């Protein structure tokens, strides 16, 4: 792989209950475990950061493949849900992802084609492929 960009961040404190910041200072967040995991929920958590990154990355990949196809992505959007759960047998924890995609200017067949292509291009999709379940859902399209 030819590196095009490298992001750097540092997490410190108590892991999920600490801070995270990028080396350039553009990202600086307080971290807190969610209430569902026994935390106070007063900060962001790694799953929220992953969800935001995956949604933005996938939307960018979608726009790239749509531009090449000459497709209209007016009012398009991608929402990501990242699920944290205990692995079978209690040996550790795992993730699963859902991407909910709105492509209101496209018919379903075109939307499905572009989503499949974006899933092959997106770096997050490539990083997670074969490692976690990623469910792609097209929720909005032109009838």
Q: What is the pLDDT of residue 140?
A: 87
Please list, residue by residue across 69-93, b when 16 or more beta carbons sit within 10 angstroms of its beta carbon and e when fewer do.
eebebeebebbbebeeeeeeeeeee
Structure tokens given for 16: 């999920």
Structure tokens given for 137: 């859902």
Q: What is the pLDDT of residue 142?
A: 84
pLDDT digits (tens, 9 = 90+) for 2-61: 999 999 999 999 989 999 999 999 999 999 999 999 999 999 999 999 999 999 999 999
Structure tokens given for 112: 């499905």
Phi-psi region of 36 (alpha: psi -120 to 50; beta: other; left: phi over 0): alpha
Q: How confident is the model at residue 90 (pLDDT cuts 50, 70, 90)?
A: confident
> CA-to-CA distance for 118 and 56, rounded, in angstroms?
12
pLDDT digits (tens, 9 = 90+) for 106-117: 999 999 999 999
Measure Cα distances from 35 to 39, 62, 86 in Å: 5, 33, 16
Q: What is the mean pLDDT of the chain?
A: 96
**What residue ranges in the chain does DSSP mark as E strands?**
9-14, 17-22, 28-30, 77-86, 93-107, 133-142
The pair phi, psi for residue 84, each rounded to 5°, is -110, 130
Q: How confident is the model at residue 89 (pLDDT cuts 50, 70, 90)?
A: confident
Looking at the chain, the whole-number percentage of residues with pLDDT higher than 90 is 94
């Amino acid at each position: 792989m030819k590196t095009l960009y490298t992001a750097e961040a540092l997490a410190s404190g108590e892991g999920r209950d600490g801070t995270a910041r990028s080396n350039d200072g553009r990202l600086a967040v307080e971290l807190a475990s969610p209430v569902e995991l026994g935390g106070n929920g007063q900060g962001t958590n790694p799953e929220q950061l992953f969800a935001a990154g995956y949604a933005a990355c996938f939307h960018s990949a979608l726009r790239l493949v749509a531009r090449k196809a000459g497709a209209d992505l007016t009012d398009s959007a991608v929402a990501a849900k990242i699920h944290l759960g205990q692995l079978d047998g209690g040996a550790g924890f795992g993730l699963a992802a859902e991407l909910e995609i709105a492509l209101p200017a496209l018919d379903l067949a075109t939307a499905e084609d572009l989503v499949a292509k974006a899933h092959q291009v997106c770096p997050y999709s490539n990083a997670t492929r074969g490692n976690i379940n990623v469910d792609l859902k097209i929720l909005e399209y032109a009838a």
